[in-house]
Structure 1
Amino acid sequence: MTSPPTSQARRVVLFFAVTLAIITYVDRVCISQAAPAMQAELGLTKIQMGYAFTAFGWAYALFEIPGGWLGDRIGPRKVLMRVVGMWSLFTVATGWAWNLWSLVVSRFFFGMGEAGCFPNITKAFTNWFPSAERVKAQGILWLSARWGGAFTPLLVGWMLASGGEGKFGLGLHYRWVFLIFGLLGVVWALSFYRWFRDYPKNHPSVSAAELAVIGETLHSGDHSMPWGKLLASRTVWMLWAQYFFMSYAWYFYITWFPTYLKEQFTGMGDMQRALLACVPLFFGGIGSILAGLLSARLDVWLGSIARTRRWLGVLGMGAAGLMLSISMQLQTPVASVLAIGLAALFSDLAMPGAWGACMDVGGRHTGALSGSMNMMGQVGGAIAPMAVPLVLAATNNNWTINMGLFAVSYFLGAICWAFINSDERLHE
């Protein structure tokens, strides 16, 4: 007598996570490609556009911990439905901004909504995946997020470009682009809320065999914010610091990188720059999935999951800093952007391990820990978009100093990883 097949409902959970990651980065990166048109129409300077970029970053940072903690308290189903609906509304509002302050306010509330995304996806993964599958799931998630962002410049460039002889483009005003992307989020939120349950044992599609594979993931006990445990842990401090440094450099790719290409390589056309703007996030996705796929083998070779994460973090972020340093010495657009892309690939070798460490170290406090780590990352992400134009203004529009700061940030992140021990447990 054959046993009934094991259900695979957790694959549907991964599908929802992947599609949300794509929507998240599409909505987030869209503004960088539309920025020149928005600046021209609204009469904004670079520094004023930097206010809009950094408003998102600060809101994203400030609401990470509340968003993650709320997921621990009431579950990711309710939180994700609400925050996705919220940021989709303000994606649309971004396109309809009429001056600087309406744009800044829209981006702030957009960031407030997106803050709850990845901590609650991580909480859902903690509930739905056995520990052996979590880093692989995070690798697939971040591959999707990066590639969603990677192809957004090309997609938005095509949507904005005017069609004509020998050209392809929809010729849409940027307002309609933001409207279309906002509606995608609304569809996702309604579909997810209808299907998802916070725990697999409460879902009708999950068989007893799949429950046995997943194991017990219901964490009982106090879900209050564990500030004492967080602040007493060196691993937590280092997770916060490495994510700050990683995000400081990473936000260059999703904010000022198209402007950098336009000013550094003036001989290229708009679509050529849009293609090159895809490179860092495309390569970053490769780094994320490589980390997810290689982790199991490296765990055996190095002797533990904690060592694998540490070495991928140290070597990945160190190599990222080196590649950015090399990119500054290269004069041709393709070679320089390829080096920047490799920097993104190497830095993202640390990404799945960072979120996997939050799941293992955090336990029932996963939402709080991952939210606090992402909060620190977004502080770096909020500082970078504002620092870039200020440095340019102080150096006669010289991009070399900014690139050097991004490289140093990666090197500091590599040092942090040397002190991270993901065998530590906050909930024991």
Structure 2
Amino acid sequence: MKLTCSALQRRQILVFVVGWIAYAATYCLRKPLGVIKTDLETDLNISKSQLGWLDTALLLPYAVMQMLLGPVGDKLGPRKTFGVCMILSGISMASFGYWSNFYMFCLLLFLNGTAQAQCWPNVMKTLGLWFSDNVRNTIFGMFGTCAFAGGIIGTAIAVFLQTTYGWRSVFFIPSVLLICLGIIVLLCFHQPDELNIDVPGKAATSASSSSTKSELTWFQLWKIPMLAEVAVAVFCLKAVRYCMYMWLPMYLLNSLKYSKTEAGMFSTTFEIGGVVGSAVIGFVLDRLFKGRSLYGTCLCTGLSGVSLLLFMLTGNWGMMFNCLFLFLAGAFNCGPDTILGGSIPAELGEMDGRNAAAATVGLVNGFGSVGTFLEGPIIGIIATAYGWSGMFYFMIILSFIGCVAVFRASVIKSRLPRPIPDEEPLKVPLV
């Protein structure tokens, strides 16, 4: 069924807005853990070591289950998988505040991480099916702002609930919110083929594969050309980003002699750069790197390493230089993440009729998320042995490794006998 331009635009806006709000809301059940750690330590006598294990209980299944359960969305459908997983995430954390047992906390966080693992791959799969191929990077880049905005919103809600009602309340209201949004997703987040709608500007393989079942195994997914290189790049980007999230305030406080308030507030400059970078990079890739998006993301990944190097070298030059290079580091690090972790693996998963977009996105992001819980002990060892400069050199090296991985993927793409659809811009009027 072909819709008028205005009717299709309304449907696209609905899918984009529902997906953006729903995925941003998942952070309302991730961020509170960091907010209430002090309360758990003082009220329940949970040790710092155990608090670290709570992080692992959430992040480890989130990473592993993305890789192992990615094909679920391709077999059951992204709308059902995304909606049900949001509801399960809300149910798992609704009773968190009623418990005082460390092992029960671990169990609930494990269930939450497992449920949320399937949210990003399936929202990416649906989003990719609704928009024409030659605006794919723009849409994915704009959509990626939900992850960074959701983190800020999730922290703000948790702080408000903690200070107003106490730490035991911080998960209940967000859990109810996620359950309600999960129901809305089930009602509104349809694929085009579920509504028998044809989206103009979609490659034939991508459009037709959405109604078939994916039969690829986990090992077969790894053999898809470029996928392993993209996964390595996402691993490096996420590891660097979480290093900055977890260690930047301490660096500003101890090394650059910021006050506690200044360190906390100024550290958000990196996240602000991430929001801007995510929103802008897709537009830039579609306009300046049409058909060569991997080269564009390779350049951005390399520039993130350069920005970190300049931030380290100019650390004593004052707040203005600190702000500039932190902003650029955040923009060039977070900007490519949505493209490498969403647009490109989704495209690879739908090529040649594979219908494995959710599986490939899950595989790439799951592998990348391994870096989020490995960075803590690694950075701790490096900072202890080599100081703050060692930490920054480690992040710079990781950034350039990611750059090399993306460059290798771009070389592989150039040698493929069959071109990826975005190499030949479609002339169909875009919606």
Q: Is this a same-fold pair by TM over 0.5? A: yes
Partner of 2:400: 411
CA deviations 1:104-130 (Å, max 9, x no partner) are 333222211111011101111233222
Instruction: Tell me by how many angstroms 1:214 deviates.
Output: 5.7
SS in 2 for 1:53: helix
Partner of 1:371: 362
Distance 1:265 1:106 in 2: 39
Note if 1:420 corresponds to 2:413: no
Partner of 1:283: 273
Query: What residue identity is the alignment partner of 2:58?
Result: F
Distance 2:177 2:312 in 1: 38
CA deviations 1:4-45 (Å, max 9, x no partner) are 553121211111111123112343233334334433334345
Q: Which stretch shows the higher mean deviation, 181-190 or 255-264?
A: 255-264
The change in CA–CA distance for 1:79 and 1:264 in structure 2 (over 3 A counts) is farther
SS in 2 for 1:6: helix
Distance 1:142 1:386 in 2: 28
SS in 2 for 1:64: helix
Partner of 2:192: 200
Partner of 1:69: 71
Relative to the length of structure 1, the TM-score reads 0.82
List alignment gaps of at least 5 residues for structure 1. 161-169
- Taking the TM superposition and a 5 Å limit, the aligned residue runs for 1:284-299 are 284-299=274-289
Distance 1:269 1:215 in 2: 52
**1:46–1:389 Cα contact (<8 Å) kept:** no
**RMSD, matched Cα:** 3.2
Partner of 1:167: none
The change in CA–CA distance for 1:94 and 1:118 in structure 2 (over 3 A counts) is same
Query: What residue identity is the alignment partner of 1:275?
Result: M
SS in 1 for 2:100: coil
Partner of 2:345: 358
List alignment gaps of at least 5 residues for structure 2. 422-431
SS in 2 for 1:225: coil
1:384 to 375, 394, 413: 375
The change in CA–CA distance for 1:156 and 1:395 in structure 2 (over 3 A counts) is farther
Distance 1:252 1:274 in 2: 15
**1:21–1:142 Cα contact (<8 Å) kept:** no
Q: Which stretch shows the higher mean deviation, 250-259 or 181-190?
A: 250-259
Note if 1:240 corresponds to 2:240: no
1:176 to 153, 169, 172: 169
Partner of 2:428: none
Instruction: Tell me by how many angstroms 1:97 deviates.
Output: 5.3
Relative to the length of structure 2, the TM-score reads 0.82
The change in CA–CA distance for 1:153 and 1:407 in structure 2 (over 3 A counts) is farther
Query: What residue identity is the alignment partner of 1:410?
Result: S
Query: What residue identity is the alignment partner of 1:191?
Result: I
Distance 1:427 1:266 in 2: 50
Instruction: Tell me by how many angstroms 1:389 deviates.
Output: 4.2
**2:128–2:136 Cα contact (<8 Å) kept:** yes
Query: What residue identity is the alignment partner of 1:356?
Result: S
CA deviations 1:297-345 (Å, max 9, x no partner) are 113xxxx42x2x2222222122212222333341456754653332121
SS in 2 for 1:187: helix
Q: Which stretch shows the higher mean deviation, 98-107 or 256-265?
A: 256-265
Instruction: Tell me by how many angstroms 1:192 deviates.
Output: 1.3
SS in 2 for 1:418: helix
Percent identity, aligned pairs only, is 19
**1:143–1:289 Cα contact (<8 Å) kept:** yes
Aligned residues between the structures: 403
Distance 1:359 1:413 in 2: 19
